[in-house]
A and B are shown apart, each in its own frame.
Chain A
Amino acid sequence: MTTLIVVLCIILAVIVFLQIGKLTELTAKIRGEKNAQYASNRWNSVLGMIFMIVFLLYCIISAYDMKNYMLGFGPHSAASEHGGALDSVFKITLFFTGIVFVITHVLLFWFTYKYHGKEGSKAKFISHDNKLEVIWTAVPAIVMTFLVVGGLNAWNKVMVDVKPDEKVLEVEATAYQFAWTLRYPGADGLLGTKNYKLIGGSNDIGQDWTDSKNYDDFKADKLVLPVGQKVRIRIVARDVLHNFYLPQFRVKMDAVPGMPTYFVFTPVKTTEEYRAELKKYPEYNEPSDPKDPNGKKKWETFEYELACAELCGNGHFSMRREVKIVSQEEYNKWVSEQKSFYLTSIRNTDDDPNKGKKLAIDPVETVKDTTKVNVVEPVKEIK
């Protein structure tokens, strides 16, 4: 029934519009085509001015209104060391493009208004102006150079891999349809080798149990990282393309089957610090669950999140993992509570190639000595 009414309404509207159209054509005939065109010119050029003013105001006001969601403004300044550099390239670009946007729009609609055809008006014959053209080729070129230099400077700093002797925590994120497996290196600071052919059963990423580096590796259901510690995420995909995306940290990198990628970054704000920042903004002081107005506020329930940013199939939108940035002490404590996956789930089961044998090295079941920052092997080993 409602569908029918809607359809009827649309048909009616179309008929009304057609009649309006025909009517104006008729009146144009009566008033004379020329005069009708002049009237139309006047009207539409005025509409153009109104549009320009309203549109520019809308852009400015809405930008102001949404500034708390923009890079580098409000609470969403980057939570990583490198993020600030990107945010400032963003701001500089916003500044320049904003100026160009306003000027060109003002000119476009102002000229349309000023030079609309009127009784007796004539166009000028202006075919080109070399000087002007040189200027407006050169100016954008200079601005672009400026932006390129700033941008590439930031880019080349952000994207470098770790140096061979650098102390860094390496964590592995394996994406598959439609979740992530997060693997930590354990006490030795090294991730054990893998082979995709070994995937199966509880071994969801294909760890090779003959490699002793795997004995102490543990898996986590959250990405927990110590604040201020340089992290190298080894990003791996098991089936199709995915993308390791941490919005607040300005981290994004495709996960490619057969080709591990990486992203190196240093978190600088703990989850708690970020929450405290959010608390200052009214939109985060609303209840987090609309059905429970007295429950926790949005800033209190805020968590950093890991998302997938490359279409990977029908469940692409659901690949969420919580990310916790904590102090070094909390991190140490958390690590000490984690259990080696091999020792708890594989050791001496039928899946264990070392079943009944003594292990080559004595594995540390949990990391006791966490003051020993995990050291990664030289880069050539990083796969």
Chain B
Amino acid sequence: MSAIANHPETHEDILIREQGFDDHFHDHHHGDKFQSNFITKYIFSQDHKMISKQFLITGMLWAIIGAGMSIIFRLQLGFPEESLLWLKPLLGKWITVNSEGVGKLAPEFYYALVTMHGTIIVFFVLTAGLSGTFSNLLIPLQIGARDMASGFLNMLSYWFFFLSSIVMFYSMFLSTGPFSGGWTAYPPLSALPQASDGSKTGMTLWLVSLTFFVVSVLLGGINYITTVLNLRTKGMTMWRMPLTIWAFFVTAILGLLSFPVLVSGFFLLMFDRGMGTSFYLSEIYVNGKALENVGGSPILYQHLFWFLGHPEVYIIILPAMGLVSEVLSVHTRKPIFGYKAMVFSILAIGFLSFIVWAHHMFMSGVNPFLSNFFVIFTLIIAVPSAVKVFNWIATIYGGNLRLNSPSLFAIGFVSLFISGGLTGIFLGNSAIDIQMHDTYFVVAHFHIVMGVAAFFGMFAGVYHWFPKLYGRFMNDTLGKIHFWGTLIGAYAIFWPMHYIGMAGVPRRYYSYDNFETFNHFAKINQFITIAACVVFLLQILFVVNFFYSIWKGKVVTERNPWESSTLEWTTPIEHIHGNWPGNIPTVHRWPYDYAKDGKDYICQVEPLGVGEEDSGSH
């Protein structure tokens, strides 16, 4: 470890050497069995930092694919008259050519694209890509652990995700196409191969892929929870954990409790598809034949799905909230406002997210009386959400704000979360949802509050922790262009969708030509499509910046470039197995001692002064 030895010992190093905790960790310099060759170091790695990078890069690949799909179906919606012949080399038979030589996107492919887009972004990018990356990177580093509780399960978690990715990717090349019944996969459409080509092998592979995916989430989740509970270093009480860790911790619990329910729903669906059971099927006549199945209920699936589905949206947004809290605090040079209130609101959101699921089903034919409870709980969830927003804004108040790519994305996140959260209040009120359900208003709501906001949290995280990941900085100017362009562009895409939705236009329509009520918005749809293309190109800029910076970015020379008080910045710039070369740090204070007692920041390893009180203790 000569490279590390070359760095002058920092103040924190001395503290860790003198006061840190000696856990008798032996750093195997050369014969380290975990990283001894290329395969164990880069591919079947059990090191949380490497696994984090694997999740990040796989997630990015999926993000490009998922976003690219949205561009293709937006072309259909924005420019339905335009010939898409030029896409034929890429899409083959999915582009049908009519007698005039005009290439059209086939409806079945439109629906396949929409379905794949949703599945990919929700599960592969914003669940695996986000939690997988940052829980893996930050949990051990910020709580002072050598690695995850089980490096092996952690490795399996990534490889199950990879397997799931492969299966999903393969399903796109089937002759009958991938699944095309929407990311929620409601039966009977998803249960009946006769009802749609996408429900043939495409659906089977979709189920197989997502089952592997759930295995991945569960393996990861068990690990995160165990690590947080058992591997915190000396002095790192729960109330001294950064909000990132709280967020990842609660996220993992949500995942652990809700994903198995989804899988059970999937299994019943598989039985219905392959074994003639009738969990979801009853009195169906399809394709010229009356099926034997009676007594099942498609609504049962919806309950099982949304029992995961709603926690899932918080599984996506909580990590982003954690990252944003941390990034805002560091770059405002101020403690996060109301740390305990933040923790309690994370816990409250986590708990409440389990009892609101049927707000997705107000118009599904469930007993309207039951909806009363779900309306009440749903609107209660808006309260802790509002508290979080106020706390972020109060964090900025009185700060000394360093405006760079990470902090800008964090501020953008707050704006988006406000905009999207407020439209949730419309939808959560079942009376309004009668009109809004399954319209573009819902599309606007969840893309802003979950889609774009979670991406912003992820971007804030990537720009902020890139120095920790790769020992270099990402280019900040490109980051700012990326930020402003994406913020404006994302609002340009999704804001007008509110209006289209209020006018009653349903989502998942391949074409609006058939309806006088819905065909007034050609100009707006064009505008949205153009904005989407611009935003897509800006994301390519991010990807270029990312890979360029891995090899050519400005080199990090100081360990703690953001002058942050959390533990991850006390580790050497070069990644080493076990994170700290000698002792692991002992923690003496909460993670947000910024601007305290005239000091810019105080690292968590700094012992409390005489008579000093830990600021996090009240």
Q: In the bound complex, do residue B415 and residue A105 qualify as a contact, i.e. CB atoms below 8 Å apart?
A: yes
Indicate if A371 sits at the interface (CB-CB under 8 A): no
Residues of B within 8 A of A2 (CB): 86
Which of B150-158, B222-230, B254-262, B476-484 forms part of the interface with chain A? B476-484
Residues of A within 8 A of B540 (CB): 10, 14
Min Cβ gap B398→A in Å is 4
Bitwise, A254-284 to B at CB < 8 A (1) or not (0) is: 1011110100000000000000000000010
Residues of B within 8 A of A247 (CB): 435, 503-504, 517
Q: Whole-angstrom distance between the alpha carbons of A316 and B386 in the complex?
A: 37
The verdict on A62 contacting B595 (CB below 8 Å), with A40-B403, A97-B426, A111-B397 known, is no
- Most chain A CB within 10 A, of B182, B282, B369, B515, is at B515
Q: In the bound complex, do residue B398 and residue A124 qualify as a contact, i.e. CB atoms below 8 Å apart?
A: yes
Q: Whole-angstrom distance between the alpha carbons of A44 and B487 in the complex?
A: 13
Q: In the bound complex, do residue A137 and residue B372 qualify as a contact, i.e. CB atoms below 8 Å apart?
A: no
Q: In the bound complex, do residue B332 and residue A123 qualify as a contact, i.e. CB atoms below 8 Å apart?
A: yes
Bitwise, B176-204 to A at CB < 8 A (1) or not (0) is: 00001110001111001001110000000
Residues of A within 8 A of B500 (CB): 69
Can you name the residue of chain A whose Cβ is closest to the Cβ of B483? Answer: A44
Min Cβ gap A132→B in Å is 7
Indicate if A324 sits at the interface (CB-CB under 8 A): no
Contact of A241 among B188, B397, B548 (CB under 8 A): B188
Q: In the bound complex, do residue A21 and residue B425 qualify as a contact, i.e. CB atoms below 8 Å apart?
A: no
Indicate if A309 sits at the interface (CB-CB under 8 A): yes
Residues 90-117 of A contacting B (Cβ, < 8 Å)? 90, 93-94, 96-97, 100-101, 104-105, 107-109, 111-112, 115-117
Q: In the bound complex, do residue A108 and residue B393 qualify as a contact, i.e. CB atoms below 8 Å apart?
A: yes
Q: In the bound complex, do residue A51 and residue B487 qualify as a contact, i.e. CB atoms below 8 Å apart?
A: yes
Residues of B within 8 A of A127 (CB): 335, 337-339, 592, 615-616
Min Cβ gap B64→A in Å is 14
Contact of A123 among B477, B512, B594 (CB under 8 A): B594
Contact of B396 among A108, A243, A248 (CB under 8 A): A108
The verdict on A305 contacting B515 (CB below 8 Å), with A117-B400, A239-B195, A254-B365 known, is yes
Contact of A197 among B290, B389, B484 (CB under 8 A): B290
Contact of A101 among B363, B383, B419 (CB under 8 A): B419
Indicate if B408 sits at the interface (CB-CB under 8 A): yes
Which of B295-303, B453-461, B603-611 forms part of the interface with chain A? B295-303
Residues of B within 8 A of A86 (CB): 431-432, 434-435
Residues of B within 8 A of A339 (CB): none
Q: In the bound complex, do residue B108 and residue A314 qualify as a contact, i.e. CB atoms below 8 Å apart?
A: yes
Q: In the bound complex, do residue B379 and residue A256 qualify as a contact, i.e. CB atoms below 8 Å apart?
A: no
Residues of B within 8 A of A243 (CB): 363, 438
Indicate if B579 sits at the interface (CB-CB under 8 A): no
Contact of A62 among B295, B337, B496 (CB under 8 A): B496
Can you name the residue of chain A whose Cβ is closest to the Cβ of B491? Answer: A55
Q: In the bound complex, do residue B333 and residue A117 qualify as a contact, i.e. CB atoms below 8 Å apart?
A: yes
Q: Whole-angstrom distance between the alpha carbons of A105 and B425 in the complex?
A: 17
Residues of A within 8 A of B282 (CB): 257-259
The verdict on A93 contacting B334 (CB below 8 Å), with A155-B371, A239-B188 known, is no
Q: Whole-angstrom distance between the alpha carbons of A301 and B380 in the complex?
A: 45
Indicate if A318 sits at the interface (CB-CB under 8 A): yes
Indicate if B452 sits at the interface (CB-CB under 8 A): no
Indicate if A363 sits at the interface (CB-CB under 8 A): no
Q: Whole-angstrom distance between the alpha carbons of A45 and B396 in the complex?
A: 12
Interface residues on B, range: 35 or more
Q: Whole-angstrom distance between the alpha carbons of A372 and B415 in the complex?
A: 59
Min Cβ gap B558→A in Å is 11
Q: Whole-angstrom distance between the alpha carbons of A250 and B430 in the complex?
A: 12
Q: Whole-angstrom distance between the alpha carbons of A254 and B368 in the complex?
A: 13
The verdict on A305 contacting B516 (CB below 8 Å), with A101-B419, A108-B396, A140-B382 known, is yes
Contact of A316 among B495, B496, B508 (CB under 8 A): B508
Q: In the bound complex, do residue A125 and residue B335 qualify as a contact, i.e. CB atoms below 8 Å apart?
A: yes
Indicate if A59 sits at the interface (CB-CB under 8 A): yes
Residues of B within 8 A of A228 (CB): none
Residues of B within 8 A of A261 (CB): 365
Contact of A115 among B297, B340, B399, B426 (CB under 8 A): B399
Contact of A152 among B296, B341, B372, B596 (CB under 8 A): B372
Bitwise, A132-176 to B at CB < 8 A (1) or not (0) is: 110011001100100110011011101110000000000000001
Residues of B within 8 A of A3 (CB): 86
Q: In the bound complex, do residue A155 and residue B372 qualify as a contact, i.e. CB atoms below 8 Å apart?
A: yes
- Most chain A CB within 10 A, of B187, B380, B430, is at B430
Q: Whole-angstrom distance between the alpha carbons of A144 and B424 in the complex?
A: 12
Residues 498-518 of B contacting A (Cβ, < 8 Å)? 499-500, 502-504, 506, 508-512, 514-518
Min Cβ gap B430→A in Å is 5
Indicate if A25 sits at the interface (CB-CB under 8 A): yes
Bitwise, B272-295 to A at CB < 8 A (1) or not (0) is: 000000000111111010100011
Bitwise, A61-91 to B at CB < 8 A (1) or not (0) is: 0110010011100001000000001100110
Contact of A17 among B107, B363, B481, B616 (CB under 8 A): B481
Q: Whole-angstrom distance between the alpha carbons of A20 and B481 in the complex?
A: 11
Q: Whole-angstrom distance between the alpha carbons of A129 and B340 in the complex?
A: 11
Indicate if B29 sits at the interface (CB-CB under 8 A): no
Q: Whole-angstrom distance between the alpha carbons of A357 and B107 in the complex?
A: 49
Q: In the bound complex, do residue B476 and residue A40 qualify as a contact, i.e. CB atoms below 8 Å apart?
A: yes
Q: Whole-angstrom distance between the alpha carbons of A112 and B402 in the complex?
A: 10
Q: In the bound complex, do residue B189 and residue A14 qualify as a contact, i.e. CB atoms below 8 Å apart?
A: no
Q: Whole-angstrom distance between the alpha carbons of A115 and B197 in the complex?
A: 57
Top 6 nearest A-B pairs by Cβ distance?
Answer: A258-B282, A247-B504, A159-B368, A151-B429, A69-B503, A124-B398
A-B contact pairs, 14 of them (CB 8 A): A25-B476, A25-B554, A44-B480, A62-B496, A100-B418, A122-B400, A127-B337, A129-B338, A137-B383, A155-B431, A254-B365, A258-B282, A313-B195, A318-B511
> Besides A116-B403, A126-B397, 17 other CB < 8 A contacts?
A21-B477, A96-B425, A108-B393, A111-B396, A124-B334, A125-B615, A133-B338, A140-B382, A151-B430, A151-B431, A155-B429, A177-B195, A238-B285, A239-B188, A241-B186, A307-B517, A311-B182
